[in-house]
A and B are shown apart, each in its own frame.
Chain A
């Protein structure tokens, strides 16, 4: 019975859900009036992955979901949130997958950030053996 009720409710709710989906996200393709805020939003959007696409940022994607996310980002930035706060909010919802900027303080991604230092050190070590010692000044 419960199941049946749930089904009925689900059926009834479809038109409403469809309606809430109807008005397009207001800031999907509309820039913020404040150029500083728009630039901040733009920079952040370029670092967020469009979850429905193949390797595109939400700034570059035509997918409806990317449009919704753009709108979310712009609205939150306009409301005074910092880009990092918006990013964390999205990571909380979608996981690290959504951000192209792997965090340094994470059990999984820290090796990425250590790599440049280790590699440079290894390169210097490798180079040291190659050179002949200078025979002093002439």
Chain B
């Protein structure tokens, strides 16, 4: 019964989405206010029904209801509760349902709380939102019904991919989806504003929290995904320019550009057409990301559904949405004035540079990711595009972008003087120069990119606090602090990346219990190998102690796990974090002479990469609170003024 109820709720939600779209479309065309007024409750009801459907699916997973095909394929009764829960979206159907649920909730939220937007634009936005949701409802109901029953009912399920049984990964996909959906809301706003020709500062202010929210989630999602790949896959790398990673990076790049251009639109009423374009691009990138990951076109850990029918369905949705939005943009861009003008050396100028550099980087990641697919489709020849290409093509641009990031906040709006800028930024430049000099003197074998990156990180870390110079710290708005923390986070992450790529030391040994392994200042004592068992796995565990210099003796236990349900082996690396880096130990296979393959890395300052990512997201969060509070206060003021009149 639960499954059937879930399916009915899903059908109802889909019908409500259709109604929502029709009400909006007719209401706008026929200028019927009663239609437009009805759209809000419909949006709220749609959100409620789709949430109900999703909650029922979670319930099925928690109960391990083995009469439902999706549960059988992706869960097992002997599995920690957390992973039963996370298993709900650790598969194709569930993740699509999660997507459309978040979208429905976002629509309900807009319907309930959005006050600053013009009424017609709000109606158009909700109609656009419903139109996007409809595609996903159709997709779920036609080709990927999550509530499908299975007969005969099997004794137990097949289990979740062991690599995904990790707390980090349980929450990585939903985080990214929140980001994708946030971008879809921004896109709906852009479509709404284009339809009603209402592109201006008020529209930008209404759209900004959604862009900011999406961007925070994407930042967290990418950071978590990177850390997961780092410690769970056991190869010590944190980014491989894998197509799936790129699929999550591209929306982030677009969202970052959009976040900065929407600020220009909200503050200075400039860059109107550009902001609309970026909103379209950002949503397109999240759709393309979903398509790449979901269609199975890239065969990789993430491609759960290797199914061409689903792939073509998402591709069709992609073409309809992006094609439609581009067409609307092309039709309306002529009527959108670009807004107020500015000079090259100005805050806007720096933000345009930010936008262009991010766009070029985005285009390069896009080309590098899709070019091999294109070549293979046309000529049949397979080729690989990986780190050497992406690092060389995007690295220098990224460094330039970071330099612009340091200078931008120190510039005045509209027009500034290059000499005063140079004055303001002289200390960071000196710090960068000193750092470069010291690095060139005391280190060997650093790549040019890493050297420049580390030098720049030192200067930018200081420069990011420069906007506070001579300001009243208590009266500085919270969103300014947000920007400072986010920019500082970028410098921190950059330093981590440069250090990881330059100073990592690796040691591979075949060791017997009793052996000693030395890496840098670390001394590892390999004591024993012992079998251990978990809830749904067994493992061989290496007992080791590690000591840095004359420091404390730490116990570490790298494992080699076997998952019974899936017949898969994973290695659980042992990590030891110090203030100056991380020790990473992997236990490999044993040989006939009682020796075990042990892989040890010392990675100086590597945690800075993810610490930086978290700081960036925290900065976004501060800015969000600051903006929302200010918007609320302004509205209260206005209401008060109106009441007085």
Contact = CB atoms under 8 A, between A and B. Distances in A.
A10 to B, nearest CB: 29
Interface stretch (A1-9, A11-19, A49-57): A49-57
Contacts of A89: none
Given A60-B237, A123-B359, A131-B342, A101 B386 contact: yes
A14 B575 CA distance: 44
Contacts, number: 114
Given A42-B506, A57-B240, A100 B389 contact: yes
Nearest to B383: A96
Interface in B381-410: 381-389, 393, 397
Interface stretch (B7-15, B297-305, B626-634): B297-305
Given A29-B597, A134-B344, A96 B382 contact: yes
A130 to B, nearest CB: 6
Given A60-B237, A112-B371, A123 B384 contact: no
Interface centre among B341, B349, B359, B386 (most CB of A within 10 A): B386
A96 B381 contact: yes
Contacts of A109: 383
Contacts of B237: 60
A137 to B, nearest CB: 9
A123 B363 CA distance: 11
A105 interface: no
B508 interface: yes
Interface in B437-459: 445
Nearest to A129: B338
A100 B387 contact: yes
Contacts of B385: 100, 102, 112
Interface string A105-138: 0001101110110011001101100111010000
A95 interface: yes
B363 A39 contact: no
A123 B235 CA distance: 37
Contacts of B383: 95-97, 102, 108-109
A77 interface: no
Contact of B375 (A108, A124, A134): A108
B506 A47 contact: no
A113 B393 CA distance: 8
A132 B341 contact: yes
B235 A59 contact: yes
Nearest to B338: A130
Nearest to A130: B352
B301 A29 contact: no
B510 A115 contact: no
B343 interface: yes
Given A95-B382, A123-B356, A123-B359, A29 B389 contact: no
A135 to B, nearest CB: 9
Nearest to B235: A60
Nearest to B367: A115
A60 B237 CA distance: 8
Contacts of B240: 55-57, 60
A115 B299 CA distance: 26
Given A96-B383, A100-B388, A120 B360 contact: yes
Interface in A60-93: 60-62
A61 B586 CA distance: 13
A31 interface: yes
Interface string B205-240: 000000000000000000000000000010111001
Contact of A30 (B342, B367, B382, B508): B508
B329 to A, nearest CB: 16
Interface in B455-506: 506
Contacts of A132: 341-343
B364 interface: yes
B588 interface: yes
A100 B384 contact: yes
A108 B341 CA distance: 43
Given A30-B510, A31-B508, A119 B384 contact: no
Interface in A9-48: 29-31, 39, 42, 46-47
Given A47-B386, A115-B393, 17 more contacts: A29-B508, A29-B599, A31-B506, A31-B507, A31-B508, A56-B240, A59-B235, A60-B235, A96-B384, A109-B383, A112-B368, A112-B389, A115-B364, A115-B367, A124-B356, A132-B342, A134-B343
Task: List the 9 closest A-B pairs by CB distance, nearest first.
Answer: A100-B386, A60-B235, A101-B388, A96-B383, A123-B356, A132-B341, A97-B382, A54-B300, A119-B360
Interface of A: 29-31, 39, 42, 46-47, 49, 54-57, 59-62, 95-102, 108-109, 111-113, 115-116, 119-120, 123-124, 126-127, 130-132, 134
5 contacts: A47-B387, A60-B236, A61-B235, A96-B382, A116-B364
